[in-house]
Structure 1
Amino acid sequence: MDFTYDDEQQALRDAVRGLLDKQYGDYEVRRRTTTTDPGFDEDLWGRLAEMGVLGLPFAESDGGVGAGPVEIGIVCRELGRVLAPEPYLTGVVLAGGLVSAAGTPEQRAEVLGAVAAGERVLAVAHDEPDGPRWATDAPGTTATQAGDGWTLTGTKDPVLHGARADQVVVTATLPEGGTGLFLVDPAAAGDTLDRTGYPTYDGGRAARIVLDATPAVLLGDAATDRSATLATMLDLTRVMAANQALGVMQAQLAATTSYLTSRKQFGVTLNTFQALTFRAADMYVSLELTHSVVDWATMVIATGDRDRLTEAAARCALQTSRASRHIGQEAIQLHGGIAMTAEYSVGTATAHLTVLDHLFGDGDHHLGTLAAGVTDHDTLEALG
């Protein structure tokens, strides 16, 4: 199996890397960008749209590019490498993916065309303060049919980049049961919607959105249970989150090895001390194992097999969870006191890895998912 990028994929990586390095090559620029709303660079978002990056996941008939999962993973890795705060993972991959999977042709053309052009920012409102973690149901939010339209009532928190979003994809329990997908326009909701933005501990942005009989548009032609669609898109986004985490970890290892080969103690560089070199080598092993698993899971997406994707996403997320904790902690330890300062990227990168780990299910959650499937396999007699 060929894991190397073809010429077009390499060109995409180089183009995205060049743009992001120009913007966030200096970590201080990223730090300043995240201190003010909306928490990302709107001009850079527009340049990503001009490059076609925002339309990569969507079909050409919907105004997108129609690229595959490998191309989307390339973008996620490059965003992770420089800790870019732009809402690509949740706003394009997940929110856009839900519209693409559940929307009517008219809805897809209108919404996804605007997203691809950089004219509209989407967010996903699924998590609930008192709801089950990392599930596909939304028991705290109810949908009520009102004539030809719908209204939603409930609280969603956290909603990543929810305070900036032009439209929000909201999950809600349907009158007949099951989970429905709806589009909400905060600007048109008036007093029926309240959203309060706040910073996250990795420098990102999230919001608490309270819906009170808020007008909503049903995604699709009928009030259909979209639990399976949501589960598939969450699995796909888990793999893309792992791609983004891989980019972060690659930068963490590069920064750590550079520090060890330049920082001096007792008149010699730190890499002179064998124990520190061994710890950096262990980081490399964790990174390369994760790289292989992430590449495999990314290619599983292309098969279109939902069952294989579910298992691949769980395996990928589990390995990424373990590696990100190992690499993040070692990067901080090997950098010493400087890693704990806000002016240095290592601490923020580790915080971002923690956010990605908990965004769609942490390692323990995915270990439980995989363990539950062990009983599906036939038992074997012990050798001896």
Structure 2
Amino acid sequence: MDFNFTEEQTMIRDSLARLIREQYDWDTRVGVVNSESGWRPEMWAQFAELGLLMAPFSEEDGGLGGGPVDAMVVMEEFGKGLVVEPFVPSVVCAGGFLKHAGTAAQKEEHLQAIMGAASTFAFAYAEPRGRYNLADLETTAKKDGSGYVLNGHKAVVIGAPWADKLIVTARTGGDRRDAGGISVFIVDKAASGVTARDYPTVDGRRASEVYLENVSVGADALIGAEGEALPLIERVVDEAIAATCAEAMGAMGVAHKMTVEYSRQRKQFGTPIGKFQVLQHRMVDMFMEHEQSISMTYMATLKLDEDEVERKKAVSAAKVRIGQSGRFVGQESIQIHGGMGMTDELAVGHYFKRLTMIDSEFGNIDHHMRRYTALSAGEMKAAAE
């Protein structure tokens, strides 16, 4: 595998790192998170001007000709700055559905708007009783002439308070947990029958409970083939997991760096605590966990275009590693900072919160361990036969 970044990817990383350093410092982020809106649309527009929202898309779709590695580069820098703007929901998820299965008309209308920051999407897939099962859907979409009528409740829709469009998964056929009968729709958030209850999340972002009551959409709102969307949803979610792992990679690196710096300044018995061997060992363990997370994230990102089983195994393995490493690095950083680490005033606690939330997004450690085990068992059975 080639782990060297292209000149364009290096330029994106450097430009974004400089922008975050200059315009997304810690005090600025705190002000943004505590503001009424919870984000900066002008910063989102600036990301678009830099080409960040175009980076993962092909030139045929109007992008910069990049892919998952470009998204990884962006998300690692976002993780370092704890950026709250909705790159994963709008660019990776909504953009992923459109680039993989959107019609030419859908791409022209919606993908161009995403890349230019003219429109922001949120991905409404989770349901209160779904428990990470992408096929566990009670939201329905019933035919009504040439269009559909949607009814249901979507839970913890990240970025929905900032979105003007939603990507909604719904059941057009089959029973609640059937793999078949699942479809994906574009829904205008301002459409009649759409209501949302907005709230802040523990890691500083915003989310909504979205309720759909007799929401009418046209035939042009359907992405891909009716009732056959589960493989598409799984592919897009795997891409979102890889991007989120890259974010965790960036956050872990900063948490470790902050902890090392603190250990050099904090003194006990007249000596910097960083000179105590037991703490040195713990900080080396933090470094190793971070490095392993980098390797696993690279592997998962590079395998997103391989066959379904290999892609799923690589992504689940990375998500397990990120969950374990993020928990370890976060907890150790808080422990070494002591009581200071628990305060809202100190940044390291917020990195711990984000890493904790990342573990539960798109499936936690236990979920992905089960998925990886099931996929491996399926391969062994097929080989035996």
Structure 1 segment 19-34 matched on structure 2, within 5 A: 19-25=19-25, 27-34=26-33
Structure 1 segment 27-176 matched on structure 2, within 5 A: 27-130=26-129, 132-175=130-173
Structure 1 segment 247-286 matched on structure 2, within 5 A: 247-286=250-289
- After superposing the two structures, state which structure 1 stretch, 277-286 or 263-272, moved more: 263-272
Corresponding residue of 1:325: 327
Give CA-to-partner distance per residue, 1:265-288, whole Å, 9 cap, x none.
Answer: 221211111111111011011111
- Runs of 4+ in structure 1 off by over 6 angstroms are none
SS at match of 1:55: coil
TM-score by length of 2: 0.93
Corresponding residue of 1:342: 344
SS at match of 1:89: helix
| Aligned equivalents of 1:211, 1:373: Cα separation in 2 | 35
| Aligned equivalents of 1:377, 1:305: Cα separation in 2 | 13
Cα distance, 1:2 vs structure 2: 3.2
Cα distance, 1:221 vs structure 2: 6.2
Corresponding residue of 1:201: 202
Cα distance, 1:141 vs structure 2: 0.2
Q: Give the counterpart letter for 1:212 in structure 2.
A: E
Q: Give the counterpart letter for 1:19 in structure 2.
A: L
TM-score by length of 1: 0.94
Corresponding residue of 1:373: 375
Q: Is the 8 A contact 1:99 1:219 kept in 2?
A: no
Q: Give the counterpart letter for 1:105 in structure 2.
A: A
SS at match of 1:168: strand
Identity of aligned residues (%): 34
| Aligned equivalents of 2:222, 2:306: Cα separation in 1 | 22
Q: Is the 8 A contact 2:33 2:205 kept in 1?
A: yes
SS at match of 1:163: helix
Cα distance, 1:12 vs structure 2: 1.2
Unaligned runs of at least 5 residues, structure 1: 380-384
Give CA-to-partner distance per residue, 1:232-257, whole Å, 9 cap, x none.
Answer: 11111111110110000011111111
- After superposing the two structures, state which structure 1 stretch, 343-352 or 52-61, moved more: 52-61
SS at match of 2:84: coil
- After superposing the two structures, state which structure 1 stretch, 225-234 or 63-72, moved more: 63-72
Q: Is the 8 A contact 1:64 1:112 kept in 2?
A: no
| Aligned equivalents of 1:305, 1:21: Cα separation in 2 | 39
Corresponding residue of 2:177: none
Corresponding residue of 2:292: 289
SS at match of 2:63: coil
Q: Give the counterpart letter for 2:166 in structure 1.
A: V
| Aligned equivalents of 1:61, 1:107: Cα separation in 2 | 14
| Aligned equivalents of 1:57, 1:215: Cα separation in 2 | 31
Q: Is the 8 A contact 2:58 2:67 kept in 1?
A: no
Q: Give the counterpart letter for 1:270 in structure 2.
A: I
Cα distance, 1:4 vs structure 2: 2.7
Give CA-to-partner distance per residue, 1:108-154, whole Å, 9 cap, x none.
Answer: 11101011001111001010112x22222252100011112111000
Q: Is the 8 A contact 1:138 1:171 kept in 2?
A: no
What is the number of residues matched between the two proteins? 374
Q: Give the counterpart letter for 1:58 in structure 2.
A: F
Unaligned runs of at least 5 residues, structure 2: 175-179
Cα distance, 1:99 vs structure 2: 2.2
Q: Is the 8 A contact 1:179 1:225 kept in 2?
A: yes
Q: Is the 8 A contact 1:63 1:109 kept in 2?
A: no
